[in-house]
Chains A and B, each alone.
Chain A
Amino acid sequence: MDSLTHSRSIWKKAAPYLLIAPTIVWYGFFWARPVIQAFYGGFFDLNGHFTLDNYKFVFNDPYFLQAIFNTFFIAIVSVAVEFVLAFGLSLLINIRFKGAGVFLFIATIPMALPFVAIAAMWKAGLATYGWLNSFLYHVGLIAKNGKIVFMSGNKWPSIFVIIIIDAWGVIPSMMIILVAGMQNLNEELKEAGYIFGGTRLTVLRKITIPLLKSTITTALILRIISAIQIWAIITLMFGYLRLPTLVSQLVFYSDQRAPADPVYYQRALAYSVIVAIIISSIVILYLKVSGSFRKEENG
């Protein structure tokens, strides 16, 4: 009897570790190992000799500087634009007008669509003979021979187009975070602001925004992390090398070049490491800001 309870208590102590073990094994095998291999493999050639050539190739890649610039420029500008619009939309929803629920439903529809479908939709839309020009013509904004060439392929118009498409697809998720933050605000504080003579604008500036600070940081950082997805839209709209980004270079070398010449796998590994380092530093920043490093006492 005594040994039975004893074995039971051992079982009880071991239970959480047994339950969590599969996760750890899975992560170790399919995540940690590839990560280590990426960092390690980037320093070797195909015959297993140590080399810096892969990184030399990346830093001398004529597309590398462009890729760095495009990645950061597009990420920063689109995040800024999307934040302003998402913030405006969430203020709108927070007025709680009649039909706000329906509006929220409509506004979150783009979250449901796969990125590839969104790209197909806009590619068909922004073609010179596409639906956007047709629509503009139907409502009388352009003449029949005044079609706007959205996809000229020049650098700045292309970046502009990409930012618009990305904003359409991504604003909803940012808006959701902000709406949630606003719903959790203490309404009394705002009322107090009005009682003491504040206008809508001063209440927004002095009360709402400061109280929303942590929500806003969360929304911004999460958005920056997911900004690496933009490469897919760029690639689908303009092909691989027109507007290169770090991830599109990675995919280009491993998918388009490597099958013919395996050395490109090693070079793409170097790109992988650079992407991984940039994104994980932002993730760590996020974890720090969101307070995830703080220890929980129980539960």
Chain B
Amino acid sequence: MKKELQRNLVRTARTTTLYILVAGVAMVILFPIYFLVTMSLMSDFEMYNEWPLPMLPSFSMSFKLQNSQKGYLLSIYNKVDNTYLDMLDTNDTGYIINFVKRKTNCTLTREKLNEIIEELKNNSKVEFKLRKNFLLNYTLFFRLKKDAWPAFLRSIYTAVVTILISLSIGGMGGYAFSRYFFKGKNFLKLGVLFVRMFPAVATAIPAAIILGNMGLYDKPIGLAFIYSIGSIGLTIWITASIFLSIPVELEEAAQIFGTSKAGAFWHVTLPLALPGLAACAMYAFIGSWNEYAQAIILTQFNPTFPVVVFEYVLGATGMAHLATAGGMTLAIPAVIFYLFIRRYILRMWGGVRV
């Protein structure tokens, strides 16, 4: 009886340690992401005038306006120290409106300010609260970085062309690998693997020269041509295994019922392979969307979105709230597509069952 109790106790202790460990690791993984998200929602004031940083971004900010010798003295409430910080002393009301927006992500309308100034005639100070514009960092990032929006569109264009090239060329290759035996098959398989692992950044400079001769340097379509090298290999791999899993007998049966070989492929094999092809497309999208190393070398005046974010993060000091907003904008599409094809990715990395 006593022994059993002891055993139970040991087991409970062991499970508890296990779960504490698991929770700890999960925290280490999730916390930075949590902060990436919250910081992209914080204003300049929260980031740089309050310390420690709040664990949650605030939804509203409190202000105080006083009469001063110059005109008006604007103070912003610091939630950490529970005091008003004097921020601005000016008689330029337009500047006050601008400053409030830039510093705290709140919109102070001209009417509201006039009301407050009216009130100031009878009072020595007026305190007021404004709601924060939650996503202002995101719009601000695109407004401050003039080339961010065109770069965003270029990135989508590049990704789409990369998908089209790699699905058509790689899909044909994958079909050949799965259905035929031909000379040089082993060599080619090895070659595809080798090319895929070869450091692409090492070929970027001569690739830039080749694209330049074709008139495609610094153009999204040129980038797509280079990006598809990697994704063609991947598409061959994935599609070959998809086509292998679809029995040839199915195609043959369709042919017996009167369609041509191409018709059998079009009406029987392709629909069955569609989910896998969609996964290939998303994989190609992620690869192209996230790529920056080659894009830095292969573009000059027309960068892609990751390059814009790269340069912003590289140069940004004291602009972390905008840099994180840029990083989030880059991450969101990649994460969405990743969630769609998670099973495929994990299987490709070694066959994990999920």
Contact = CB atoms under 8 A, between A and B. Distances in A.
A138 B285 CA distance: 40
Given A30-B229, A35-B203, A121 B194 contact: no
A117 B314 contact: no
A208 interface: no
A299 interface: yes
Given A30-B225, A89-B25, A103-B22, A108 B323 contact: no
B199 A276 contact: yes
B292 A124 contact: no
Nearest to B55: A138
Interface residues of A, number: 100
Interface stretch (B82-90, B128-136, B156-164, B330-338): B330-338
A34 B32 contact: no
Contacts of B28: 168
A115 B292 CA distance: 9
Contacts of B31: 135
Contact of B207 (A27, A30, A92, A121): A30
A31 B203 contact: yes
Interface in A264-278: 265, 268-269, 272-273, 275-276
A76 interface: no
A284 B197 CA distance: 10
Contact of B346 (A95, A108, A124, A135): A108
Interface residues of B, number: 97
B182 interface: yes
A120 B173 contact: no
A27 B296 contact: no
A185 interface: no
B173 A20 contact: yes
Contact of A287 (B15, B190, B292): B190
A127 interface: yes
A116 B313 contact: yes
Contacts of A232: 292-293, 310
Nearest to A176: B349
Given A19-B173, A108-B342, A135-B31, A116 B310 contact: yes
A108 B346 CA distance: 9
Contact of A112 (B35, B165, B334): B334
Q: Which of A99, A130, A225, A229 has the most CB of B within 10 A?
A: A130
26 contacts: A20-B176, A26-B169, A26-B232, A29-B210, A38-B206, A97-B18, A105-B354, A106-B29, A109-B33, A113-B33, A121-B35, A123-B323, A125-B32, A129-B48, A138-B52, A138-B55, A176-B346, A180-B346, A247-B201, A247-B293, A251-B297, A265-B205, A272-B201, A272-B205, A279-B198, A286-B197
Interface of B: 15, 18-19, 21-22, 25-26, 28-33, 35-36, 39, 48, 51-53, 55, 165, 168-170, 172-173, 175-182, 186, 188-195, 197-199, 201-207, 209-210, 225-226, 228-229, 232, 236, 244, 289-290, 292-293, 296-297, 300, 306, 309-310, 313-314, 320-321, 323-324, 326-328, 330-331, 334-335, 338-339, 342, 345-346, 349-354
Interface of A: 15-17, 19-20, 22-24, 26-27, 29-31, 33-35, 37-38, 41, 89, 92, 95, 97, 99, 101, 103-117, 119-125, 127, 129-131, 133-135, 137-138, 144, 168, 173, 176-177, 179-181, 183-184, 215, 218, 225, 228-229, 232, 235-236, 239, 247, 250-251, 254-255, 259, 265, 268-269, 272-273, 275-276, 279-280, 283-284, 286-287, 292-293, 295-296, 298-299
Given A124-B323, A272-B206, 12 more contacts: A23-B169, A27-B195, A103-B22, A116-B310, A117-B328, A144-B52, A251-B296, A254-B205, A275-B201, A279-B199, A279-B202, A287-B193
